[in-house]
A = this chain, B = another copy of it.
Amino acid sequence: MAVAARLPRPRGRPPKALAGYRETRESLLRAGMAALTEKGFSATGIDEVLRSVCVPKGSFYHYFASKDEFGSALISRYAAYFAGKLERHFHDKSRLPLERIQDFINDSARSMERFQFRRGCLVGNLGQEMGALSESFRQQLYEVFVDWQQRTSRCLRAAQQAGTISRDFDCDWLAEFFWVGWEGAVLRAKLERRPEPLHSFGKGFFQLLKQ
Q: Give me the interface of A with B, judged by CB distance under 8 Å.
A: 38-40, 42-43, 118-120, 124-125, 127-132, 138, 141-142, 145, 173-174, 176-177, 179-185, 187-188, 190-193, 197, 200-201, 203-204, 207-208, 210-211
Chain B residues, CB < 8 A from A138: 191, 193
Q: Is the pair A128, B187 in contact by a Cβ cutoff of 8 Å?
A: yes
Q: Which residue of B lies closest to A181 (CB)?
A: B181
Specify how many copies of this chain sit in the oligomer: 2
Q: Is the pair B129, A120 in contact by a Cβ cutoff of 8 Å?
A: no
A129's partner among B39, B142, B184, B200 (CB-CB below 8 A) is B39
Q: Is the pair B201, A177 in contact by a Cβ cutoff of 8 Å?
A: yes
Q: How many angstroms between the C-alpha atoms of A143 and B120 in the bound complex?
A: 21
Q: Is the pair A131, B119 in contact by a Cβ cutoff of 8 Å?
A: yes
Q: How many angstroms between the C-alpha atoms of A193 and B127 in the bound complex?
A: 11
Q: Is the pair A204, B181 in contact by a Cβ cutoff of 8 Å?
A: yes
Identify the 6 closest CB pairs spanning chains A and B, nearest first: A184-B184, A181-B181, A42-B43, A43-B132, A39-B132, A183-B184
A188's partner among B118, B174, B183, B190 (CB-CB below 8 A) is B183
Q: Is the pair B208, A180 in contact by a Cβ cutoff of 8 Å?
A: no
